[in-house]
Amino acid sequence: MGTRALLVSLLLLLLIATAGYYRFMPPRLAHAPDISLLSVDGEELRLPAYRGRPLLVTFWSTTCPSCVREIPHLIDLYRELAPRGLEIIGIAMAHDPPDQVLAMRKSRGMPYPVTLDIHADAAHAFGDVMVTPTSFLIAPDGRVVQRRIGRLDMTGLRREILAMIAQQEASTAKPAINVP
């Protein structure tokens, strides 16, 4: 194969990869959608109720190796930062059999709410999520500040969440009273 044919092939491969990336990338969301989810424990989770604290929404599947490898990191993040306000919601994809989701949640000891997206309503509300893992970091004011397809950068994510928490704590701190 000549140099020219190799370059054309590489360019074509790059174009196909780019088109595929944009095909599966959810569209940009400015704010978290106003949806309700039902956790596997039967609790109704309304996304607007999470305003005032950072929220990580992660779409996952029991058959997704990256999702399964990410669960222990999400558990650690939740245990560390939930006492300071972080919330995490795991949304199992519509194709995931509910019994497998329940079994994995139990075997992995997932302490954060897990929901079943049986009719893909949540995936649709978040821009037709089709690939797992796909995660959305939602700021306390409801803005979507990060979306990620693939494994999360846990160090960067933790840093961003801590900055949100620090800002929330600073805004709710009571001003000092000056006594003359």
Whether the upstream peptide bond of residue 48 has omega within 30° of 0, thus cis, is: no
- Higher pLDDT, residue 145 or 172: 145
Q: Which residues on adjacent β-strands are paired with residue 91?
A: 59, 115
From CA 68, how far away is CA 104, in angstroms rounded?
A: 9
Please state, as a whole number, how many other Cβ atoms lie within 10 Å of the Cβ of residue 42: 6
Q: Which domain holds residue 117?
A: 55-171
Q: 12 lies in a domain?
A: no
Average predicted confidence (pLDDT) for the chain: 88
Q: 39 lies in a domain?
A: no
Whether the upstream peptide bond of residue 180 has omega within 30° of 0, thus cis, is: no
Q: 178 lies in a domain?
A: no
The structure tokens listed for 167 are: 């800002």
Under 8 Å between Cβ of 139 and 164: yes
Q: 80 lies in a domain?
A: yes
pLDDT at residue 21, as a whole number: 47
From CA 161, how far away is CA 86, in angstroms rounded?
A: 8
SS3 of 34, please? coil
- Higher pLDDT, residue 1 or 148: 148
How many folded domains does the chain comprise? 1
pLDDT at residue 35, as a whole number: 96
pLDDT at residue 30, as a whole number: 84
Length, in residues, of the chain: 180
Q: 180 lies in a domain?
A: no
Q: 135 lies in a domain?
A: yes
